[in-house]
């Protein structure tokens, strides 16, 4: 990582930052000088994650948020406003996984996924846009979508629907906020080694025969490996940086090339 602090003193919020992709993004932003807030419903884990960053000499703290609840999101925005008065960067990463098929899915399950994975990003944007508008240079919103928001996948009806909505939410929000100089983009991860990679039987998706045969042996993922959370951090940082000053409304696939093989 560069010694130059390219995000020095910019306030950054990363949801779902206690682990996985969210933590890696938070760590990269913090390493670039951002005052990084790790927002997560799992507050104990978020506190531990923030302490790891502080021990590295970075500026970080953990705050609780349930992006599925209006009052919780409003409370987070109030806390950030009260302490910092603005926010330069918002990364909407928090999400939950689910295996849902149209013939077995309950409407309550579908609505829960939509409420968190789709509506959660909308809640965060609604709450934080006023704070971002009060900031100076480098105002950014980065959403974490998925290649499942661009392509179909078996037993992922609710998740894919929500991530597909995030894709067009990103584009529409970019149009709304462009007059204020706020850039809005998304990354679309492919197969990434996170807790969501654990299958219902406790095994890891990467270790399954079908995955290794199709995606590794026969190169459906051209790079022939699972992504790591760290692989997502660099592209997310780029979209948060001044290098992306003329980039908005874009969806950047970070998938080892898998979307090129569809």
Q: Name the residues annotated as catalytic.
A: 159
What's the DSSP call for residue 196? G
Nearest CA to 88 among 15, 16, 11, 146? 11
Nearest CA to 68 among 45, 39, 100? 39
| CA 247 – CA 141 distance, rounded (Å) | 11
Contact by Cβ (8 Å): 157, 111: no
Distances in Å between the Cα of 29 and the Cα atoms of 83, 105, 166, 201, 214 are: 19, 38, 22, 35, 35
Q: Please state, as a whole number, how many other Cβ atoms lie within 10 Å of the Cβ of residue 139.
A: 24
**Rg of the chain (C-alpha set):** 18
Tokens of 103: 């013939």
Tokens of 73: 């999101």
| CA 61 – CA 80 distance, rounded (Å) | 11
């Amino acid at each position: 990582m560069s010694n130059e602090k390219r995000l020095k003193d910019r306030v950054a919020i990363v949801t779902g930052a206690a682990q996985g992709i969210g933590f890696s993004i938070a760590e990269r932003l913090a390493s670039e000088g951002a005052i990084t807030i790790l927002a997560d419903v799992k507050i104990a884990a978020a506190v531990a994650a923030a302490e790891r960053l502080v021990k590295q000499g970075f500026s970080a703290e953990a705050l609780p948020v349930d992006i599925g609840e209006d009052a919780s999101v409003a409370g987070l925005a109030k806390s950030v406003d009260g302490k910092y008065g603005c926010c330069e960067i918002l990364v909407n990463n928090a999400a939950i996984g689910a295996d849902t098929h149209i013939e077995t899915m309950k409407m309550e399950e579908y609505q829960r996924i939509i409420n968190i994975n789709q509506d959660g990003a909308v809640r965060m944007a609604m709450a934080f846009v006023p704070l971002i508008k009060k900031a100076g240079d480098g105002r950014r919103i980065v959403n974490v979508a998925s290649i499942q928001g661009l392509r179909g996948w078996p037993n992922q009806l609710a998740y894919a629907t929500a991530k597909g909505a995030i894709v067009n939410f990103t584009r529409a929000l970019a149009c709304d906020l462009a007059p204020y100089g706020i850039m809005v983009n998304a990354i679309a991860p492919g197969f990434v080694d996170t807790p969501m990679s654990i299958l219902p039987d406790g095994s890891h998706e990467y270790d399954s025969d079908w995955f290794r045969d199709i995606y590794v042996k026969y190169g459906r993922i051209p790079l022939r490996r699972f992504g790591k959370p760290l692989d997502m951090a660099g592209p997310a940082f780029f979209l948060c940086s001044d290098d992306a000053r003329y980039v908005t409304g874009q969806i950047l696939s970070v998938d080892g090339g898998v979307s090129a093989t569809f």
